[in-house]
Amino acid sequence: MTQTSARDTTRTSAMPLVHAVNVHKSFSGNEVLNGIDMDVAAGEVVCLLGPSGSGKTTFLRCINQLETIQRGRIWIDGELAGYEEKGGKLHRLADKSIAAQRREIGMVFQRFNLFPHMTALENIMEAPVQVGGVRKSDAEKRARELLGRVGLGERCDAYPAQLSGGQQQRVAIARALAMDPKLMLFDEPTSALDPELVGDVLSVMRELAEGGMTMIVVTHEMGFAREVADRVVFMDSGVVVEQGAPAEVINNPQHERTKSFLSRIREENEEYAAALVERAEAEKL
Ligand SMILES: Nc1ncnc2c1ncn2[C@@H]1O[C@H](COP(=O)(O)OP(=O)(O)O)[C@@H](O)[C@H]1O
Ligand SMILES: [Mg+2]
């Protein structure tokens, strides 16, 4: 493996941007990831599907080094995440080096986690100024650009409580982009939103994908997966069960577990749509 520093912009390695091999993670003896292998090429969009508890969040957290792993390895852009190899042995990197690696990855959670006492603009400027050493005026200019890009150019001075959930989530995406990540991880970014707010968040994500961002997206939004993903990966019980082109996996799943998951999601969506119609009608009365 070629040694590259976290700051290198040119990749000297032929590896995919994310190269995860045999990743094992357990919590007090309870094995949650059971040997995950996953490659994501630069510019690729992968949607990660799977039932609740299958380990999707844990896997994203391992990629972003919010969790340590017990076995296996993860390389990000050719660089071993969290460790360096010396004389055939792995040594944990210093916190500072891990923080530098983590800065290259943007993560957007189900709950937006914005700082409530800061405006949209201040939320986005915070990391570049405090962590990235960017001049305040430069960070502000960039933050305004990013807010424009997510359709919130007019709401720079709004506090999170003054924004809808969908707007807050778009601020959270802009905030993650402010550190110029190589990779964006999304963990069910629309599942806490009212349905009428989901579309705007998905549009921002679609544009990001079209702009060439490498993305791993955990989602139950099958329409998004079908239209935007290059590949869909279905996980269950801490293993990858099946993967392939979205149309193949979603329309023609090969494994029983994938089939039953997809039909459950379809039923839930139908029930949900029916409940919305009911609600809309009740509101009319
Ligand atoms: N910090 C933790 N401590 C103990 N168990 C955890 C922790 N995080 C996740 N788990 C367990 O790991 C399993 C997978 O969780 P998670 O990765 O959140 O699944 P998913 O995102 O697919 O719903 C679940 O059984 C969950 O209870
Ligand atoms: Mg989860």
In a structure prediction context, what are the per-residue pLDDT tens digits for the chain, which is 285 residues long?
Answer: 444 444 444 444 578 999 999 999 999 999 999 999 999 999 999 999 999 999 999 999 999 999 999 999 999 999 999 999 888 888 899 999 999 999 999 999 998 789 999 999 999 999 999 999 999 999 999 999 999 999 999 999 999 999 999 999 999 999 999 999 999 999 999 999 988 899 999 999 999 999 999 999 999 999 999 999 999 999 999 999 999 999 999 999 999 999 999 999 988 888 877 887 888 888 887
What is the atom index within ligand 1 of the atom nearest the CA of 60? 17
- Write down the pLDDT at residue 13: 57
C-alpha of residue 53 to centroid of ligand 1, in Å: 6
- Write down the pLDDT at residue 111: 87
Query: For the whole prediction, is pTM greater than 0.75?
Result: yes
- Write down the pLDDT at residue 112: 78
Whether residue 144 has its Cβ less than 6 Å from ligand 1: no
Whether residue 50 has its Cβ less than 6 Å from ligand 1: yes
Whether residue 55 has its Cβ less than 6 Å from ligand 1: yes
CA distance 31 to 254: 25
Tokens of 150: 């997510």
CA distance 172 to 212: 19
Residue 183 near residue 105, CB atoms below 8 Å: yes
Q: Which residues of 196-216 are buried (b: 16+ CB within 10 A; e: fewer)?
A: ebbebbbebbeebbeeebbbb
- Write down the pLDDT at residue 120: 98
